[in-house]
Every structure is written in C-alpha cells, then in structure tokens.
Amino acid sequence: MAIVNENHLKLPGNYLFAEIGKRVAAFKEHNPSADIIRLGIGDVTRPLPMACIDAMHKAVDDMSRIESFKGYPEYEGYDFLINKIVENDYKKRGITVGVDEVFVSDGAKSDTANIQELFGLNSRIAVTDPVYPVYVDSNVMAGRTGEYIDGKWTNVTYLPCTSENGFVPELPKEKVDLIYLCLPNNPTGTTLTKEQLKVWVDYAAKNKSIILFDSAYEAFISEKDVPHSIYEIEGAKEVAIEFRSFSKTAGFTGTRCAYMVIPKELKAYTADGSEIGLNRLWYRRQATKFNGVSYIVQRGAEAVYSEEGQKQVKETISYYLSNAAIIKNGLESIGIKVFGGVNAPYIWMQTPNGMDSWVFFDKLLSEANIVGTPGVGFGPSGQGYFRLTAFGSRENTQAAVERFKTRLKV
Ligand code: PLP
C-alpha cells in the first residue's frame, strides 16, 4: 500500500492565487461585461530584452551544428554565464564571489523551496511576515512546521513586518536556525538599510544560524543605502546563501533562469557538532536531482550583462517603477496609506478603515473591477493590507488609479 507523505495534507486548502482566480471567475460569470484590470499576480508583461532574444536565436543555431551542439549542461551552469554573474553582480560592487560558489538554476522558486532539504528536520525556521509563501509551504511539506492553528504554524517563528515597526523585523526571542529574508520584499515592497541588515548577519553569526536571502527583486532597488547583495555586509559569507533570478530583472518568468550563491565558508553542523560545508552538499544534491538549465536559455541570460542588455533591462525596470509611482501617488492623493513601490514593483496598501483583506478584495473587484492580492494571503501580519503590482501596462495602471479615485466607495 502506497502511503502518502501526510505533511502535504497539512497545507491549507486553496493556494492563494487559485482562490483569487475562483473569485474572479465567479464575478465574471455574474458580470460578463465588466472590464477587469488585473494588478494581482506578480508576473511581468513586457517582452524580453532584444539582446536576450538575439543571443537565444544564435544559440538555437549553435544547436544545429555538430561543432557547437551541446548536450547535458553542467549541473552548476556554464562558465560563460557564471563569469558574467561574478563580474557584474558581485565584483563591480566590491564583493568577491568565486565561480565555484554560483549555481545556475531554472528559478528562485525551486531554489528557495529546495534549499531546506540540506537541513535537519528539527531546524527551527523564521520568516518575515508577510512573505512569499514558498518558504513556509516547502517546510510544511518537509514536516518542519508543526500544526496550523489560527493562520499560523506552531513551529515557525514569525517576524512581523507592519507599518507599526516600519517593516523592520525584530530579532526573534527564541533561537532560530534558518532565517528567510526577502529583500526587497514581496509583498510589502519594503527593504532594509545596510545597518538594519547587519543586525541579522550578526545574529546569525552569534547563533550559528543561516540566512536564506532572496533578492529576486534586486534590480528594482533605486535608493542608495539599500544593499543589493547580503554579501555587502561584513561577515555575511559565513552565514548566508543568496538567491537571485532573471525573472523580474529581465522578464525571464516564462524563460526560466536564476542562480544562487553558496559561499565556501558557509558551514552547518552534524548532530555531534562537526562542520559541514554547504557548497559541496548542494553540488551533490544538484548532481542527483537536477540536470541543468538549457544552453539556449543560459545564452539568453548571459546577454542580460551585455551593454545593450543592460540598457534594455534598465528601460523595462524603469517602466515598471514609473507604474509603481503612478499607483503610489494616486492612492496617496485619496488618503490611502501605501508602502513600497520605490525599490520594488509592489505597492502595499493599508485597507480603508482596517477592513479585512478578503472583504476589500471583493469590494475592489465589485466596485472598481480591479483585481489585487489580499495581504493576509502572505501571512498573518498581512491582514488589513492589500498588494498591487506595477507589472501591468501603463494604460491599465493609469485606468486602475482613476477607478480607485472615482469608483471605490470608502
Ligand atoms: N522569490 C520571490 C520573492 C518571488 O516573488 C518570486 C516570484 O514571484 C520568486 C522568488 C520566483 O522566482 P523565479 O521566477 O525565479 O522562480
């Protein structure tokens, strides 16, 4: 008899975006003529940079010739891409990362979900709250999170980030082993300064904890004192793994390419206290479970770092950030409190009069025909908040703001 992994059964019902889809479909059925604007799911809409398209066309041709054909790629990624990553994302910022510390992958979702496999089942995890749901759910599946009671897992340490603490998480009272930090944050769009991030690096060093630092939105950072990499903080290479993605940086959500950095100095421990290097452990894991990212896609990602690639990427990011500014300014002009939107493509708004996130979702959908994401879907501290994304077209973004002003009854 095949027995299922019952941890999977513990996951609460509908995945957030499935529930949103269901509600939107029901609304559409009763209001077929409604012109719905979607500022919900965090997917990009602008096409890939031309530099990436050209590089991928060339790579397709390489596959047609015997002398340049490629079979299985390296598990950790091709040198041509890793060298560009090391040079541009790290060396230019004064950070030393070795080529053998970078692991190219098909996405930060799978990386951030899979990394927990390296750690013992008794490891205590901490997550900023609200946050990208993958961190918690992947630990639920592994059996690390305890029971789900009143919207919280009993064995997870939640680090609330709300307007009351300026979205700066406090250090946990109990000792934690793994700390997920997502900066710039999805969903709040907020960040930490170098000084604030240093507090976490110091905590991890003191407690032999590991920080899992997801900077999928790094390309949106526009303010000066915001670190682009956790390795800008002294001592971080001993305590942190960094995740990056080409998805939001260069529109690769459908093309799939990302990478992570696992420094050689980063160690975890066996139960009897022996040090184990995580870099080799991950390499071994990847060699067993992953067969690499396609040559064509890695050539496309490499082109992100070319002169034209950089120019085109910056244009697209600036398009989205202008959308964010339009939403932020528009909502503020009608007295709505908003956060984020400056170093991230997300605007985190407080619901009017502290309304429940899902009640506001239904209200916004029915009165203004706008779809957003209820904050509580990202964690208990998201209650009373709502996420809007800047990934729509300029036209839809402007129209949505106009509808907020004219149709929403608050
Ligand atoms: N990390 C965060 C914080 C995200 O918001 C997302 C996507 O929305 C991802 C990772 C997934 O990235 P990828 O497309 O590289 O899998």
SS3 track for 8-45: HHHCCCCCHHHHHHHHHHHHHHHCCCCCCEECCCCCCC
Cis-peptide into 380, omega within 30 deg: no
pLDDT score at 16:
83
pLDDT tens by residue, 133-170: 999 999 999 999 999 999 899 999 999 999 999 999 99
pTM of the predicted model, to two decimals? 0.97
pLDDT score at 21:
93
pLDDT score at 41:
80
pLDDT score at 42:
87
| Residues 85/245, Cβ–Cβ less than 8 Å | no
Q: What is the dihedral of CA 208, 212, 215, 221, to 10 degrees?
A: -30
pLDDT score at 397:
97
> Which residues of the chain are modeled with pLDDT < 70?
14
Q: 103 labelled as ligand-binding?
A: no
Q: 109 labelled as ligand-binding?
A: yes
Q: 291 labelled as ligand-binding?
A: yes
Angle among Cα 285, 291, 292 to the nearest 5 degrees reads 100
Strand order of the β-sheet with 385-389 is 338-340, 346-350, 385-389, 373-374
**Nearest-CA neighbor of 127 among 185, 88, 71?**
185
Domains of the chain: 12-47+308-406 (3.90.1150.10), 53-306 (3.40.640.10)
Instruction: Read off the tokens for 373.
Output: 């994401």
| Residues 387/348, Cβ–Cβ less than 8 Å | yes
| Residues 198/230, Cβ–Cβ less than 8 Å | no
**Coil/strand/helix, residue 176:** coil
The rounded Å distance from CA 109 to ligand 1 centre is 5
For residues 260 and 214, give the distance between their C-alpha atoms in angstroms, rounded to a whole number: 9
| Residues 113/139, Cβ–Cβ less than 8 Å | no
Report the residue among 246, 247, 252, 320 best suited for mutation to probe ligand 1: largest number of ligand atoms under 8 A from its CB: 247
The rounded Å distance from CA 376 to ligand 1 centre is 19
Strands (E), 73-186: 102-105, 125-129, 148-149, 152-153, 156-160, 178-182
Query: Which residues make Cβ contacts (< 8 Å) with residue 196, sequence separation at least 6?
Result: 168
Atom of ligand 1 nearest to the CA of 258: 15
Cβ(133) – ligand 1 distance below 6 Å: no
